[in-house]
Amino acid sequence: MESGISVQVVKEWDSAVLVDLYRAGGWWMQDHDPAHLPALVRSSFAFAIAVEEATGRSVGMGRIISDGVADGYIQDLVVIPEFRGKGVGRNILRTLLTFCYERNITWIGLIAEPGTEEFYTSIGFSRMKDHIPMRYRGRL
């Protein structure tokens, strides 16, 4: 992990900074409303931010959603491009995993983006045999 980067679990963070991080991951669309971000952070089981200590710049983030009793799901994990490949994402993920394990949440899953499988398997995740990730696209 690159020295000079700290990771902390937070319950609030600057929405403009979060928009920039989500954009770095390709997840922020023009029609998204940043007014929802404070609730997104507060409502996450754990929301971790990586900060460059020398500048105070936020360089990555990740979050887990959970009921706090049984399972946890990595919902987001992103590091800005110039800090990728330096252990920042790994440290964010370990911070989130530790947070869960300390609260007896030991079943943790995710749906990996294409091209990220090697990163996640290097940390200890594995494909779930005979399981299929799905997304609801129906109409109510």
103-120: average pLDDT: 94
Q: Which residues pair with 46 in a beta bridge?
A: 64
Per the domain annotation, does 132 fall within a domain? no
Q: What is the CATH number of the domain that holds 99?
A: 3.40.630.30
121-127: average pLDDT: 95
Q: In terms of residue numbers, what domain contains 82?
A: 5-123
pLDDT given at position 2: 60
CB burial of 100-125 (b: ≥16 within 10 Å; e: otherwise) equals beeeebeebebebeeeeeebbeeeeb
- What is the domain count for the chain? 1
pLDDT given at position 30: 74
Q: For residue range 64-79, what is the model confidence (pLDDT) as tens digits?
A: 999 999 999 999 999 9
Model confidence at 1: pLDDT above 60: no
Both tokens of 68, joined, read 């706090």
Reported pTM:
0.91
Per the domain annotation, does 29 fall within a domain? yes
